[in-house]
Chain A
């Protein structure tokens, strides 16, 4: 009943997954195959691959799986049913292909923060990285990743850590012990891990052990000597395993080890806290000094002698805050002093103005009186002169009335009468002007 996959229509998502697989990137890390360091929340586990989600997607029924797990499940169901929908692996509900949506970013961030071992751990890489950084690590930094041989003519690859040798490590060499041939780059691994002939002697019991078993042997060698647990706290005892166990029962320092360790941890925590506080303090101090710098020019402007006095006093102040408070106090005093001086000057000036204006008023009244006097005199003079003229005219008229015609005499008298009237009007006008 199974139909061949080539004839059955493939879904775009599974095509994309295939394209990702065929990318020329050789070192593409398969996140589903990684080994996780810590235990993770079981809710982050894909029910299909039983690993933390990789590129999780959400089905319509809100069940979440890895993109590739869903693709695999879909392509499998596809073969049987030939329909464009799948049943949710968890709840068996029918899901349209387009009803597959991405999950919130935060879930991806949580997943990318999970710590994993480097996929090249089997070659010796000890690194543990956040899952999101592991691709970068393998591509750029991992010392055990394969890179092109530094030799121009060689097309093979070497491990990144061997790149420093700057020469081709692909010449064939023979293992000293088992006579088999290896390329130079693999020889070391062969000797330390696989060679079944090469032997080395244990540094403690002098037994001949296979090179590849040496590390394991040292761990369980009965003759291996170990320092006392309290070595770092001053116990010099070094002995073989059994003797050491006896010693540990009696060693007073060893009994203190858990306590001391706890104290050390505490100390470290405190030191870290102290460092943090110091850092904060330095930040605060710098900000204080900047504030001070912005303040000092303005104090100079207000009163140079007081600010210079404050400047000379800076030394004894134990804290900048104290110093600033003092500055503030002196500024306030200065302002008080200046305002008192200003009011004093103000009073002085107003007194002066008053005195001056009184004097001027007196002068003015004197002048007024003098002017009145002068006017009186002028009036007297004018009236005296008018009387004189009238008298002269009368005399003339009497004399001419005797010699000339009466008509001319009448005209002449008319003129003489008009003249004094005009003068009088003039004099009154001048009076009003004054």
Chain B
């Protein structure tokens, strides 16, 4: 019920200032926003690449976590970054975005920064184990998937 109020305030702040490497692409309503993120250091995996994040907010935001996924686009070219916790369909396995790890004090900006740092710290050029099977069979929305967060290194 306060999703729009709160998102309006976040949007005002985002229009004023954003951390480097993060930019707002579209926020036409309070249901779905798109953000672009870049990895700033010289990580060869993500060099010169920009990735598109899609935020979907429920009416219970910020009590409930937003649904955050990477999306692909042809123009401008946006791909799914390669990462052991990002499936090739864009779904991100990050405890911050799950019901357990989410906290209402998080916001769009802090989520973007978390994902940015998750990419920055990665050195493995691989997809999660069981990626093909999951991508082929998953019909659930990300928020309904029960992830098991076992990797504490990210």
Contact = CB atoms under 8 A, between A and B. Distances in A.
Contacts of B2: 32-33, 49
A73 B104 contact: yes
A170 to B, nearest CB: 31
A90 B103 contact: yes
A90 B5 contact: no
Contacts of B103: 87, 89-90, 92
B100 A80 contact: yes
Considering residues B2, B62, B104, B107, which has the most beta carbons from chain A within 10 angstroms of its beta carbon?
Answer: B104
B99 interface: yes
B100 A48 contact: no
Contact of B5 (A51, A73, A76, A89): A51
B10 A47 contact: no
B63 interface: yes
A33 B9 CA distance: 12
A142 interface: no
Contacts of B63: 48, 72-73, 76
B17 to A, nearest CB: 13
A1 B107 CA distance: 26
Contacts of B62: 48-49
A73 B107 CA distance: 15
B100 A89 contact: no
Contacts of A76: 60, 63-64
A50 B104 contact: no
Nearest to B10: A50
Interface in B1-25: 2, 5-6, 9-10
Interface string A369-389: 000000000000000000000
A89 B62 CA distance: 11
Interface in B54-82: 60, 62-64
Given A51-B5, A80-B100, A90 B105 contact: yes
A49 B105 contact: no
A69 interface: yes
Considering residues B62, B63, B64, B99, which has the most beta carbons from chain A within 10 angstroms of its beta carbon?
Answer: B63
Contacts of B104: 47-48, 69, 72-73, 89
A89 B110 CA distance: 14
Interface in B136-154: 146
Nearest to B60: A76
Interface in A213-240: none
Considering residues B2, B64, B99, B146, which has the most beta carbons from chain A within 10 angstroms of its beta carbon?
Answer: B2
A108 to B, nearest CB: 21
Contacts of B99: 80
Given A73-B104, A89-B103, A90-B103, A50 B6 contact: yes
Interface string A48-64: 11110000000000000
A240 B146 CA distance: 68
Interface in B100-144: 100, 103-105, 107
B126 to A, nearest CB: 30
Contact of B105 (A48, A51, A72, A80): A48
A14 to B, nearest CB: 13
B105 A47 contact: yes
B55 to A, nearest CB: 16
A1 B6 CA distance: 28
Interface string B86-106: 000000000000011001110
A92 B101 CA distance: 9
Nearest to A90: B105
B146 to A, nearest CB: 8
A80 B98 CA distance: 12
Contacts of B10: 50
A48 B60 CA distance: 12
Given A50-B10, A72-B63, A73-B63, A33 B5 contact: yes
A32 to B, nearest CB: 6
Given A50-B10, A80-B99, A89 B105 contact: yes
A392 B6 CA distance: 156
A350 B152 CA distance: 116
A73 to B, nearest CB: 5
Contacts of A48: 62-63, 104-105
Considering residues A47, A50, A72, A76, which has the most beta carbons from chain B within 10 angstroms of its beta carbon?
Answer: A50
Contacts of A49: 2, 5-6, 62
A80 B101 CA distance: 12
Considering residues B10, B105, B146, which has the most beta carbons from chain A within 10 angstroms of its beta carbon?
Answer: B105
Nearest to B12: A50
Q: Which 5 pairs show the lowest CB-CB distances between chains A and B? A: A47-B105, A48-B104, A89-B103, A50-B9, A89-B105
16 contacts: A1-B146, A33-B2, A47-B104, A48-B62, A48-B104, A49-B2, A50-B6, A50-B10, A51-B5, A51-B9, A69-B104, A72-B104, A73-B63, A73-B104, A87-B103, A92-B103
Given A1-B146, A50-B6, A72-B104, 13 more contacts: A33-B2, A33-B5, A48-B62, A50-B9, A51-B9, A72-B63, A73-B63, A76-B60, A76-B63, A76-B64, A89-B103, A90-B105, A92-B103
